[in-house]
Structure 1
């Protein structure tokens, strides 16, 4: 018995396409909640905590002299950390968020934030970075 491929391909495509949803009618997903219970679920991503002033606690990206001063403060603690300047700036901004939000294990989190690619920052350096960020006033948002 010989079957023509030209007959099989449209049949396979029809089965495959009917199993998928479209933008207007996505495939159904099982849920153990319905109605009002489903609408009261918490979002998958929690909102970022804020400081008492209602700000995010993350300072804006520094430019010009402020950027250079921040990079110099980081370099004084860990010269390797400024090898990737943009990463160092982002790490500083994120660390300010932790500092301003009263985060736990700030020295450890600084050591993690300023460790990237081939740059390693110790917890002791993390503590010094926290002190430098506070002393520079950069974290004051």
Structure 2
């Protein structure tokens, strides 16, 4: 049994999932005051930074399935934080005035999240994030040349 226990702690699959769950808990706590999940908040931020962005571009940037992004967008439109306009078959997104007003709280939430994991992991957390991103890109065949 000890061998299996040790194997779990040296397995990238299990450790990455465990890290994901721990980060999700930290992020949800940091974003609770905004009334948004961290993923919804990131969609709102991107739409505010790039009015007219399409759901496909969002899915690519967030490394999420298009159907997941569509659910996030639908929820944000329903809350009155995003507007969606059709251009032929394409949809274009932009933050509404209510969405723009929420951005300061969203930015504060990102700062709270960063401070929370920096407090636990230290200054190496930024390097860890870069290395995890690089590993994801390699595993998905998107490594930059």
TM-score (norm 2): 0.28
Larger strand percent: 2
Larger Rg: 1
Structure having the higher helix fraction is 2
